[in-house]
Structure 1
């Protein structure tokens, strides 16, 4: 089981990494064709998508999980990090497929196979990995605080940066997702606030579910790891 999941994690991180790289190459080619020379600005925008950041984090955490499994010990901080990234990936899948599928995002031309990996197969794998993969131990409920910290920072960054930058293609401010743009939302910041609260609630619920799974015997996540702790792991 341990070797099987190490192999699955390797395949998953390579697929997700290839999807990110493929979309970057596609976007770079699109910007060049369109005569857009502000590449640094557009790459910054690209890496400002919560989807891209979540998937990049998934590549990192899966790599760390493979290393921890081979060493035979998974530190508590890595379990919390894995729980957080799983939450972000599952949330990405939910939000994209409910709110954004079929809507063109401001990243340039979309690479279809990359889009599906980043928004469907990557999130699904991270959920399966959390349910059945080795290296999972019980987390305390306060781990949710660590899980929701990054999305809050990202939301503040996005809403502060948006009106401060100018996109010549859009002829206005740049936001990664249309529901975060007060200039195009039906009720301005009121609509934006609604979606921010809604997504925060989804992240909180998914995060709570992830922690709850860690505290259950579902999937027997301790199997194949170092001896499990008897008490819930503390989120340090």
Structure 2
């Protein structure tokens, strides 16, 4: 398969992933609203939802680029690496939350849309990140930059939480943690996971592979 054909295939895959992500977001929204809870009414306050909305936009742009260009422009690789950092980390955090809830005997319903958004899409997009032909390597400054969104999101969440009486994740709720030390510890672990995922994506983008000649990042 030539490079142009391979790019077209990955363009179709990107467009398919964007459609699947959109369908999953709509289902998760309707599922949440049907519960008639505060959580359902605050659907767009979740970091997972916001990052997956950004993923849909980036994937659609990526599909257009794959159909029309033999290589992704550097700005797209940067944008995709940032969004993937957020979606993959959100999936890992969700898995930890479900695990912790099970230990505490708390029931957590996980509809198929949550499984798609938290597990299947992050895994598939991470694999595609390593295999897409014409993909550019990204620089290490992506790592600290990737922390800006969760930091801003966290600040807004902590400001908004007392006003609405609800937090999207239990470890951010002062009523559900033992105190500031636990809050700082869990928040620090979350940021560390963001940084580690970003590091992994940078390494993958720089890894030479016989099936894909990546355009190297700037020095």
Normalising by the smaller structure, the TM-score range is: 0.7 to 0.9
TM-score, with normalisation over the residues of structure 2? 0.85
Moved more, 144-153 or 199-208: 144-153
Aligned to 2:96: 98
Q: Are positions 1:63 and 2:57 aligned together?
A: no
TM-score, with normalisation over the residues of structure 1? 0.79
Alignment length, in residue pairs? 208
Matches of 2:211 and 2:193, distance apart in 1: 25
CA contact (8 A) 2:73 2:136 kept: no
CA deviations 1:148-206 (Å, max 9, x no partner) are 2111111111122212x23xxxxxx2100011111111x22221111110010011111
Q: Give the alignment's Cα RMSD to 1 decimal.
A: 2.5
Q: Are positions 1:12 and 2:14 aligned together?
A: no
CA contact (8 A) 2:43 2:49 kept: yes
CA deviations 1:25-51 (Å, max 9, x no partner) are 2223332xx7x8xxxx964x2111011
* 1:10-159 equivalent positions in 2, closer than 5 A: 10-31=15-36, 43=41, 45-72=42-69, 73-101=71-99, 103=101, 112-159=111-158
Q: Please point out which of 185, 196, 207 is paired with 1:205.
A: 196
Runs of 4+ in structure 1 off by over 3 angstroms are 101-104, 218-223
- Where 1:125 maps in the other structure, the secondary structure is helix
CA contact (8 A) 1:9 1:63 kept: yes
- Where 1:162 maps in the other structure, the secondary structure is helix
CA contact (8 A) 2:15 2:59 kept: yes
Q: Are positions 1:3 and 2:14 aligned together?
A: no
Aligned to 1:178: 170
Matches of 2:60 and 2:99, distance apart in 1: 29
Instruction: Give 1:85 shift.
Output: 1.1
Choose between structure 1 and 2: higher helix proportion: 2
Aligned to 1:195: 186
